[in-house]
Amino acid sequence: MKNKAIIQTDAAPAAIGPYSQAVKVGNTVWISGQIPLDPVTMTVVEGDISAQAIQVFNNLSAIAEAAGGSLNHAVKINLSLTDLADFDAVNTVMKSFFSEPYPARACVQVAALPKAVAIEVEAVIAV
């Protein structure tokens, strides 16, 4: 596919598997699921669900910027939480990273996530 571009930035964690941070096709950017890894140390950030969510959205934001956009260009967000009791705390963090109108979104509870984190978020943005 000749209009497919791989997006990569050192401002977000390197992939920990066989995937790209993001792929841009046309004006759509598909950002891989981000977990709360510090991009410099590649370790999970310390703290509660809010601290983890802040790091996840910082990672997503860095990738969106590398693709020529921002999180406010998001059209779809998929949240995976290991505990839906964290739903309200994550909503509070999310509101600090997005402006209205908010993107479409799904939120599911999962049994486990990589590196035993509590949250993973992926995004689709239009730039």
What residues act catalytically? 107
d(CA 123, CA 30): 6
Sign of the torsion angle spanned by Cα atoms 43, 44, 47, 50: positive
- Phi, psi torsion values for 100, nearest 5 degrees: -70, 145
Rounded CA-CA distance 75/53 in Å is: 19
